[in-house]
Amino acid sequence: MMVSKRKWPLLIPFIAIAVFPAEAFSAEANAPVDSGGFLFLFISVIALLFLGILYMIRIAMKAYRSNKMSGSGKNSQVGFMASTFQELVQKLKEKENELQELRRIAEERAESMESYNENILQSVPSGVVSFDKDHNMTSMNTSGEKILGLDAKHCIGKPYDEIFNKQISRIISDNQSLLREEVIYETPSHSRLWLGMTISPLNDNQGQPIGKIIIFTDLTDLKALESQVRLRENLSSLGEMSAGIAHELRNPMAVIAGHTKMLSKKVPDEMRASVEEINNEIRMMDRIISDFMSFAHPLNLNRTSIDPDEMIRDIIRTISEEKEGIEIIVNLSKCRIDADETLLRQVFSNLIQNAMDAMIEGGKLTISSKRVDSKCQIEIRDYGHGISDEIRSKIFLPFYTTKEKGTGLGLAIVHKIIVSHGGSISFESSQDGTAFRLILPQYKESS
């Protein structure tokens, strides 16, 4: 049996016991023992035991130190791993906070960009309406609501043919894109507008179509301005021609009137009625010629400060005596006008008379005013039968009338007077009535 070199010293105590005979420790031993040999043997055993004990103590101390060092290493490794883990956790928390901050900044930027784009969309003067693939409305900006006279909340989700008239609905359904189209739109309040409309496809981030965008602009004022320019050109040409015609007509009419007066003195009584009819027609012709001359000749304005409230109330007192069943409401703000009093009275008299004539069975006439920048806007509104579509473009033309005894020069002269004052006249009409709007320069102390 082999014993390792590291383990044999552990056997020293046991060897010493084995070498030292048992009889030497027995008190009952009979044989005599040499005292010198016994002492040597005893000391040797004691030495071996001491050496064995010292070696065992050394082994124990070495094992203790080894275990201590091994435990310290393990503890340091665990401490290192714990410290490293804590550092990683701390860094992960820091990165998480950084990511949250970046996310917050990205969300704020996205919200800011979305808000900025929304502000742009709501601030443009043109109307913008979007539809999905099923042609249901998805959005409408503020200008679109204002132009169309609609509330976006009540339109979102509805198909286009429930929002627009047949003409616009047909254009939307027939065109995926449209560069420019001018159409007529009637608002819920029955106002007629000219719209310039553009249609474009609405695509997503990948360029796939997801609907349509309709952009439209109110061209009503522009169309009215174009109409007034054309009318002014036509009236200018007609005015030059009318001056010569009126002059040529007035001379023979004066001769006819003179001979009719002479004839009325000599005809028998049974013929006087016929002569009086001739005189009435001559007077009618003379009035037409006078209107003709007024229309043809340039106007010489004698501008003064005029209170339209006082003038209109005076005209109403004169005209209303001839009309019954008409409620007249006057609500004029304090706004003095820089105009010719005689000519402005002619304008108001003509428009108020026409408004009352439009309400054969009675009704309500409202006259109001307000300041628009440095000018005064006066509106004369009746609730009569309105003006038909066929004649709206003709009402300011000379010699066009729908009245049996009208000359067709009333509104033509009104238009000329207003334009001569540097103002403008427009109207809107529906089956519920007609409103004429006059814009005239406001009086200034220095004028």
CATH number, domain at 418? 3.30.565.10
Same domain? 434 vs 318:
yes
Q: Are 137 and 129 in contact (CB under 8 A)?
A: yes
Residues counted in the chain: 447
Burial class for 22, CB neighbours closer than 10 Å (0-12, 13-18, 19+):
exposed
User: Which residues, other chains included, contact 159 with Cβ-Cβ below 8 Å and sequence gap of 6+?
Assistant: 134, 135, 136, 137
Q: Say how many domains are in the chain.
A: 4
∠ Cα 362 368 373 (to 5°) = 155
Are 204 and 242 within one domain?
no
Tell me, what amino acid is at 166? K
- Sequence-separated (6 or more) residues with CB below 8 Å from residue 302: 340, 341, 342
| Co-location of 306 and 424 in the same domain | yes
Rounded Cα distance between 371 and 348, Å, is 18
In a domain, 396, yes or no: yes
Last residue of a domain, one of 298, 321, 348: 298
Instruction: Give residue 375's domain range.
Output: 301-447
Pick left, alpha or beta for residue 157 (phi over 0 → left; psi -120 to 50 → alpha; otherwise beta): left
Q: Does 186 share its domain with 322?
A: no
Residue partners of 141: CB distance under 8 A and separation at least 6: 121, 122, 124, 127, 128, 129
Cβ atoms < 10 Å from Cβ of 325: 9
Residues 246, 175: contact at Cβ < 8 Å? no
Beta bridge partners of 27: none
How does pLDDT run along the chain (447 residues), one tens digit per residue?
A: 444 444 445 444 545 444 444 444 444 444 444 445 545 555 655 655 556 555 556 665 665 555 555 555 555 555 655 676 677 667 777 777 877 888 888 887 877 777 777 777 777 888 888 888 888 888 888 888 888 888 888 888 888 888 887 778 888 888 777 888 888 888 877 777 888 888 888 888 888 888 888 888 888 888 877 776 776 676 666 666 666 677 677 778 888 888 888 887 787 878 878 888 888 888 877 777 776 666 666 677 888 888 888 888 888 888 776 677 788 888 888 888 888 888 899 899 989 988 888 888 888 899 998 888 778 889 999 988 888 877 887 787 777 777 766 667 788 888 888 888 888 888 888 888 899 999 888 877 654
Both 135 and 71 in one domain: the answer is: no
- Radius of gyration for the chain, computed over Cα atoms and rounded to the nearest angstrom: 57
